[in-house]
Structure 1
């Protein structure tokens, strides 16, 4: 997996969370992950297909998910992860991944983004056996989001 494919996701996360939403964020230490992937209590999974193929997972604790949902819903209190809260969490992942796919397209790397899926399973499956998987922790005012990126160039 090369930096040309990974960096657009980090840039998109920072652009959305820090510049657009005015959150204080920082990137933690990158790690190389193995399958099965260890997510957290709440995981938004988004598949990408095209010149790059794979998935991006936004993984967080239930507490962080509730705070993010409340923030995405303009401060509405979120006590449970109901359909509205789940939609808000998925939308955050969708926005970041959409921005990243636009950044990739500017480099001539085109991909389609599938609708997000929310999973409450901590153990997640990798799509491929032979692709490095990166864990990118993003620390924010709302808690930590671990962005798990598993992408390969198709073909």
Structure 2
């Protein structure tokens, strides 16, 4: 996968997260996964269509998801992943992916994104649109967020 398809997501994360109250942004691990992702916690799927097609899947463990939702809601305690917390997390992925779409557009690659679909539980399986999935781990205030990127060939 060409790096020009990855950088917009990293740039988006480093732009959006500080606006939401996360002052420490770091790059974590980079890995390659297969077509089938099996994760536990909160999984949010966003589809990509246009000049490139594919899926973006954001993965957080449940406790970190609650911390992110709390920060987004101005520090309001989040004890459970209720509807408000889930809505905040879905909106976060919408902002991150839309910002990445803007980055793609400015480099001449027009794309559109779908509405985020939030899943949660243990051992949730998501089948990606490509056999090769690039996983970028980014940290916001030391909270790991996994961004799985799959574009069709």
Distance 1:84 1:142, change over 3 A: farther
Tell me the TM-score normalised to structure 2 length.
Answer: 0.91
Distance 1:118 1:142, change over 3 A: farther
> Mean alpha-carbon deviation: is it higher for 117-126 or for 142-151?
117-126
> Mean alpha-carbon deviation: is it higher for 89-98 or for 18-27?
18-27
Deviation per residue, 1:27-64 (Å, 9 max, x gap): 11210001321323111111111111111111011100
Structure 2 match to 1:85: 85
Secondary structure, counterpart of 2:152 in structure 1: strand
Structure 2 match to 1:18: 18
1:45-84 superposed matches below 5 A: 45-84=45-84
Q: Relative to total residues, which structure has the larger strand share, 1 or 2? A: 2
The answer to whether the 8 Å contact 1:126/1:150 transfers is no
The answer to whether the 8 Å contact 1:67/1:142 transfers is no
Structure 2 match to 1:125: 126
Tell me the TM-score normalised to structure 1 length.
Answer: 0.90
Give the whole-Å Cα distance in 2 for the aligned partners of 1:63 and 1:38.
18
Deviation per residue, 1:3-37 (Å, 9 max, x gap): 11111011101111136634202111210001321
The gaps in structure 2 that reach 5 residues or longer are none
Distance 1:64 1:8, change over 3 A: same
Distance 1:148 1:129, change over 3 A: closer
Superposed structure 1 runs of 4+ greater than 4 Å apart: none
Give how far 1:84 is off.
Answer: 0.6
Count of aligned residue pairs for this structure pair: 152
Deviation per residue, 1:68-91 (Å, 9 max, x gap): 111111111111111110000011
Structure 2 match to 1:100: 100
